Amino acid sequence: MGCPCSLQVHAASPTEARRWAATARSEVARLERKYSRYRPDSLLSRINASAGDASGVRVDRETAMLLDYAGTCHAQSEGRFDVTSGILRRAWDFRAGTAPRPGAIQALLPLVGWEKVRWESPRIALPLAGMELDLGGYVKEYAADRVAALLREQGGGAAVVDLGGDLAVAGPHPDGAPWRVGIRDASDVRRSALRVPVYAGGVATSGDYERFLVVDGVRYGHVLDAKTGWPVSGLASVTVLASRCLIAGSASTIALLHGPDASAWLDASGLAHVRQHPDGRLEERLGRTPSQRERGRRAATARSAEL
C-alpha cells in the first residue's frame, strides 16, 4: 500500500493472533496485486494499458463496485474527486519541490474526466490513449474495511486495522471500552490535537500538512482539484468518522476539495467530523458517531430483553 500498516488485535493466544495477522496480510496483499498502478500485472494496469481501445476491459463484481463508487465520489465532489486525475502527477512533483512547468497542467487536462470514461458494468473503456485510472484515493480505505470484516468473521472483532493512518475498527476492546483514536495536529504532526472514542467503524483524515511544496513564498498542497489541476486551499485537515473507512476516507478528501466551502459541505453532510483550520483552530462536529449509535441500540435491546 506504500505506507506503514499495522494491526492491533486482542487474541486469546499467540496462535490466534498469528492467524488473524496472516488473514490481514493476505487480504491487503491481494488488493495490492489487483489495484496497484505500480504493478504491471495488476488489473488496474491492464485497464490503463487498454486506453484508446474502444472494446475496453471486462471486470469482476468487486471492481465494478469500486468503479460505481468512483462515479458517486465524482458526483458528490462536483467533479473535483476524479479517479482519472492521477495523471496530474506528471506535472506535480512534490518531492522535487518545483512548481509545474508552464503549460504542463493544461496539456494533461484533456486526459482527465470521469465523464469521458465509458463504464457500463461489467466493461470499462478509457476512450483516449494516455488516460489512466488511479484508485489510490480510496482503495486503501476499502482494504482496511475488508480486513476488519474478515477479522469479525473469524472472531477477531476487538481490532483496529491501520493502513497509513486510515482506520477500520472491527469492534471495541473485550471489556466493551472504545479505542482512543488520536487526530494529528496539522501544525505539529508529532502530537495529537484530539483523541476521540471509537467503538467500531472507520476513521480517516485528509490534509495538506505532510505533502506540499513552497515556491517563491507560495504554498501548494498535494490535494488537487481535478477540474483545474491545481491544489485547493481552505482547511488544513479534515477527519471523518463513519460506518466504514471507505466512506470516511472519500468524504474527508471531498470536503478538502471543496476548498473555501469545505466547512459548509461537511455541515450539510451530517457526518461526524473534526476540522482543523490553517491557524490551528479546531472544530468538532462529533455528536454520536454511527458506531456509538449502534452501541447504544444494542445496549437498549439488551436492557429490554432483561425486562
Give the separation between CA 182 and CA 90, rounded to whole angstroms: 34
- Provide the grid cell at 276: 482543523
> pLDDT of 215-261, one tens digit each?
877 888 889 999 999 999 889 999 999 999 999 999 999 999 999 99
* Pair (117, 185) in one structural domain: no
Question: Is 184 in the same domain as 264?
Answer: yes
Residues 124 and 204 in one domain: no
Q: How far apart are CA 33 and CA 195, in angstroms?
A: 34
Dihedral sign for Cα atoms in the order 214, 218, 224, 226:
negative
pLDDT at position 305 over 90: no
Residue 201 domain-assigned?
yes
| For the chain, percent of residues with pLDDT exceeding 70 | 93
Q: What is the model's pLDDT at position 3?
A: 86
State which of 133, 152, 169 marks the end of a domain: 133
Q: What is the pLDDT of residue 233?
A: 86
Q: Within a domain: residue 262?
A: yes
What span, in angstroms and rounded, lies between the C-alpha atoms of 251 and 242? 9
**114 and 193 together in one domain:** no
Q: Are residues 207 and 286 in the same domain?
A: yes
Q: Which phi and psi (to 5°) does residue 153 adopt? A: -60, -30
**Is 144 within the bounds of a domain?**
no
65 inside domain: yes
146 with 23: CB under 8 angstroms? no
Residue 131's Cβ-count burial label (10 Å; 0-12, 13-18, 19+) is buried
Q: Among 38, 34, 15, which Cα is nearest to 26's?
A: 34
Domain contains 219:
yes
Residue with cell 491557524: 279
CATH of the domain at 191: 3.10.520.10
Confidence class of residue 12 from pLDDT cuts 50, 70 and 90?
Answer: very high
- Do 101 and 184 lie in a common domain? no
Distance set, CA 62 to CA 31, 140, 237, 252 (Å): 10, 14, 30, 23
Q: How many domains would you assign to the chain?
A: 2
Interatomic CA distance for residues 257 and 246, integer angstroms: 17
The reply to whether 97 falls in a domain is yes
Q: Could you tell me if 111 and 204 lie in one domain?
A: no
* Cis, bond preceding 260 (omega within 30 deg of 0): no
Q: Is residue 12 part of a domain?
A: no
Q: Is 216 exposed, middle or buried (0-12, 13-18, 19+ CB in 10 A)?
A: exposed
User: In terms of domains, do 120 and 232 share one?
Assistant: no
Same domain, 287 and 206: yes
Task: Please state, in angstroms and rounded to a whole number, the distance separating the CA atoms of residues 183 and 180.
Answer: 10
Q: Roughly what angle, to the nearest 10 degrees, separates helices 262-269 and 245-257?
A: 150
The pLDDT value recorded for residue 288 is 60
pLDDT tens-digit series, residues 128-175: 999 999 999 999 999 999 999 999 999 999 999 999 999 999 999 999
pLDDT at 9 > cutoff 80 = yes
Which pLDDT belongs to residue 307?
Answer: 31
Per-residue confidence at 199, pLDDT binned at 50, 70, 90? very high
CATH number at residue 122: 1.10.3980.10
**pLDDT exceeds cutoff 90 at 285:** yes
Reported confidence tier of residue 119, pLDDT bands at 50, 70, 90: very high
Domain of 195?
A: 178-298
Please tell me the predicted confidence (pLDDT) of residue 304: 30
Whether residue 123 sits in one domain with residue 60: yes
Query: Which pLDDT score is estimated for 19?
Result: 96
Q: Which of 71, 98, 133 is the last residue of a domain?
A: 133
Please report the pLDDT score of residue 37 as a whole number.
Answer: 94
Same domain, yes or no: 266 and 188: yes
Among 65, 100, 133, which residue terminates a domain? 133
Q: Is residue 61 part of a domain?
A: yes
Instruction: Extract the C-alpha cell encoding 67.
Output: 468503479
Does residue 129 sit in the same domain as residue 205?
no
Residue type for position 96: A
